[in-house]
Every structure is written in structure tokens, then in C-alpha cells.
Structure 1
Amino acid sequence: MAPPAWRRWPWLALNGVQLGFTLFWTAGWICLALLLHALSGGARRLPLRMASRCWAPGLLGGAGARLEVEGLERVDWTRRYVLVANHESVIDICALFRAVPVPLHFLLKQEMAQVPFVGWYARAMGMVFIPRDNRRAATASLRRAADLVRGGAILCVFPEGTRSRDGGVAPFKPGAFQAAIDAGAEVLPVALEGAGAVLPPEGAFRVRPGTIRVRFGAPLPLAGASGPYDRQALAERARAAVLALLRGA
């Protein structure tokens, strides 16, 4: 049975304030980041670190989210990686920006390029947009993603292709793993837990306090004893690693 309407009003009012804060906080920090990007002649490191150290902590705090990070000691952050994570909520991006101790890039769906502020920032930072309905354009985007990683960037991919509606982890699409193969970068599995409860993937903006856990696994090599893995095999191994992390293994 749904709670009485009067009990929902305080939450609706609070969520309205949180939504306003989210929009203004995001627009303000992106404007500052883009200004510094322009004044520095196109340098990206500082604007990317602003996302990690200023923007993301503010949004997590505004949502009442407590971040727990596990497994950082398993990773040599001087190496190149393609991070692959399950996807519960839009707040996943905040959690990953905050948890990863080096500048982070994302492979984003093409629609994000049209979002004011967020799309402008992502494009200026060299992030890659991938169309979901044009195979040739998607292949070109994956080539750009591989070039980005070859140049030393850490790239994060959500290989399910969309946010989970039920908390499960859908099969990983193999295409995104081509960027890791082409760049010669190890695949780093990352498990996100609790983000969907803090900010559900469906419905109106509805935030509830909670804990978001980010668990890093051991990097996965691109080859085994019998030779290199193809992208389907990498996708299956990465999904199995993420599921194990979600089980606490």
C-alpha cells in the first residue's frame, strides 16, 4: 500500500530542492571547467580532475550518498585500462569519477552529446560518443576510443548498453571490448552497488540517502594460454568478474 500523500510531500519538496541543486551545481562547475580549458589552451587534466574532486563529491553529498571504494590496491594506475562496469543509475558516473584516482574518460551514447552543459563538457574533454543505430559510425567511434586509450587515457564503458531496471546485470555487448583489443589495454572490471537505490533509473527525479559501493577487480589480460581472446570472450570474462565482485568474491 502506498503511503499517504502527506507523508510524501516532504520527500517531494526535498527532491525538488535536490534537483535544482543538481542542475545549478552541474552547470556552474562545467562553465568553470570549460573556461579553464579555454584559458589553458585546451589542456584537459585540470578540468577532468575538477569533475572528480569538486563536481562529483558535491552531487553525491547533495544526494545523501555515502561512497565506499574497495580494491584500489589491485590496480596499477600508471597502466592503460578500459574500465567496464555494470550500470544502475546516472549517478554511477559521479561515483566513478570520485572513485578512480586518475583522470577518467567515458564512452557515452550519442544522445548525450545533445544534453546542454554535460554534452559540451564531454566533447571538450575528448570523450567518445557512440551511436546505437549506425554500425559504421559506431565502428568509427570505437576506433576513436582505442586512439584515446593508446594516448594514455583511462576509458570507462558501460557494456550493458543501458541502465538496469531490475538490479540484474545484462549480457555485456562485445563491441566495446574492441577498443581494449585495438589499444592493447587490459580490461578492468568494476562493480557498482547501491546506486540504483540512491537514484532509481526510472520515473521522476527521486533521491534517497544510501551507500554506493565501487569495487575494483583484478585487471583481465587480453590473452590466455591458448592465445588472444576475441571480444566476445573478453565480454563474457568481464561480466563474470563483475558478477563475482557483486557477490563479494
Structure 2
Amino acid sequence: MIRIIMVALTVVLFLIFSVPLLGILGARDKKDPEGAQIKSLHIVQGVFRFILRLAGVTYEVQGLENIPADRAVLYVGNHRSYFDILVGYVTVPGLTGFVAKKEMLKIPLLRDWMHRVNCLFLDRVNIKEGLKTILEGIEKVKSGISIWIFPEGTRNENKDMTELLPFHEGSLKIAQKSGCPVIPVAITGTARIFEDHLPFIKPSHVVIRYGEPIDIKELPPEAMKFPGAYTRDVISGMLKDMSEGQE
């Protein structure tokens, strides 16, 4: 229980005491918007690394060489835990925003930091509003900011981590319309931190693997029609390979 108390206190205290910092970063936006974004990302990454240490989490990163250094991408990952987001943020090499559910906008200060690190807020009920979010994502990618999305739409609780939920095809529209590569991401071990034994946080070793880029335009015709299903199969294969390697 002590770990979850420490993690919760860290989050609350950071949000409260970071209010002046938000003001400073907001002022810097006017003179150096890109520098302010990079600084915001580094701050959030630092907090997330500290939280992972408090939780007793170790992590291994594989496949960073698969991420293009000269352009933004769409990261597409499997989703089993809130900690997927933390591990993702501390391992990405450049400016990246996560697609979050719209309800996160109701949380003061947290939403401000999410805006600062280029998060997008998806309305999963209102199709028109959801389309606006996708268009926002396309513009961010075109401006050099990568986007990370979990196409399962919710946390997957299947006991077999290789059995992914169906991917929402609309999730890949950002890559289809912007022309950016899709980077499939497979994550193991995050559910063992928290979700497998609520409300306790327990140490776990996490492996995150960045797969080879997928260019939707170069896929076979059938796969091009359903890039979500294709990417789902790729990630499922990555997870199977990772689970065999851990046996």
C-alpha cells in the first residue's frame, strides 16, 4: 500500500507546486514555442521516471533504431495499463502527444500539462468531435509532432496478452491522411504493476518494443483497406515473440 500512497502523493504535489511553472512555460510560448514544448516534455518525462522508480518498475527498450529520426510518426500500441503511458513517454525520442479520452479534460492542472505535451482529447461518442481530434492529430504530425494512440480504445483485460481487442480503423486515419509511418509498439509487464492486483502497486519488469515502420501506402490492397487490423496482427505477433523470449 505504501507504493500507491507515494505515487499518488507525488502526482498531487507535482500538480499543485507546478502552477508557477505552467505560468513560466506559458510566457515562454510567446518567444520560443518549440523550446517550451521540449522543456514541458522533459519535465513530464522526469516526473514519470520518478514515479516508475517509486513503483519499483524497471524497463527495457527494444527497437529504438526503428523510429525515424527525421520525421514525425504515429505510434500504435497495445493497451493493458495506465503505466503504458508512463513507459511510452519516458522512452520516445522526440515530441509526442498521446490521444486520451475526453473525460481527462475534467481534471484541473493535469489537463494543462497534457495540453503542454501535445495530448489530444478524443470524444468516443460524438463522431463529429472525434473527427476534429483526428484532424488535429494530422496537423500535429505535419508540424513534426508524433502522436501515440491505443486503437483498442480501452484497456485490454484478456489473460492472454497476445489476444488484442479489435482495433478501431479510424485510429489509423492520422497516418493515412498525413502520410507518416506507423510504428507498432508492443508492451509487456505493465498490468503487473497495478491492474492485476488493485489497489496495490507492485514492482514489475516492463519490456517495450518499437517495431519496424509500416507505410500504409505500400501495403497490399486488402491490408490497405484495413490498416488497423493489419497493424493489430503485427503487434500481436510482436507480443507472441516477446512472450516466448521471456519463458
TM-score between both structures, scaled by the size of structure 1: 0.86
User: After superposition, what is the alpha-carbon deviation per residue over 1:220-246, rounded to whole angstroms, capped at 9, x for unaligned?
Assistant: 01123656964x521012111111211
User: After superposition, what is the alpha-carbon deviation per residue over 1:189-235, rounded to whole angstroms, capped at 9, x for unaligned?
Assistant: 0011100001217843x2100111110000001123656964x5210
Structure 2 distance, partners of 1:225, 1:16, is 47
1:184 Cα shift? 0.9
Query: Partner of 1:223 in structure 2?
Result: 217
User: After superposition, what is the alpha-carbon deviation per residue over 1:60-85, rounded to whole angstroms, capped at 9, x for unaligned?
Assistant: 10110001100112222222210001
Structure 2 distance, partners of 1:57, 1:186, is 27
Residues 163, 201 of structure 1: 8 Å contact kept:
no
Structure 1 distance, partners of 2:11, 2:197, is 17
Query: For residues 130 and 176 of structure 1, do their structure 2 counterparts lie closer, same or farther at Cα, with a shift above 3 Å needed?
Result: same
One-letter identity of the residue aligned with 1:135: I
> How many residues are paired up?
234
- The unaligned stretches of length 5 or more in structure 1 are 1-11
TM-score between both structures, scaled by the size of structure 2: 0.86
Q: Percent identity?
A: 22
Structure 2 distance, partners of 1:228, 1:36, is 50
Equivalence map 1:2-81=2 (5 Å)? 12-28=1-17, 30-31=18-19, 33-42=21-30, 43=33, 44-52=37-45, 54-81=46-73
One-letter identity of the residue aligned with 2:170: G
1:177 pairs with 2:169: no
Structure 2 distance, partners of 1:91, 1:27, is 22
Structure 2 distance, partners of 1:155, 1:228, is 25
User: Which residue of the other structure, out of 185, 198, 205, is the alignment partner of 1:211?
Assistant: 205
Is the partner of 1:35 in helix, strand or coil?
Answer: helix
Structure 1 distance, partners of 2:77, 2:51, is 20
One-letter identity of the residue aligned with 1:238: T
Query: Partner of 2:245 in structure 1?
Result: none
- Structure with the higher helix share, 1 or 2: 2
Query: Partner of 1:87 in structure 2?
Result: 79
Q: How well do the aligned residues superpose, as a CA RMSD in angstroms?
A: 2.2
Query: Partner of 1:192 in structure 2?
Result: 187
- The unaligned stretches of length 5 or more in structure 2 are 243-247
Query: For residues 171 and 201 of structure 1, do their structure 2 counterparts lie closer, same or farther at Cα, with a shift above 3 Å needed?
Result: farther
Is the partner of 1:40 in helix, strand or coil?
Answer: helix
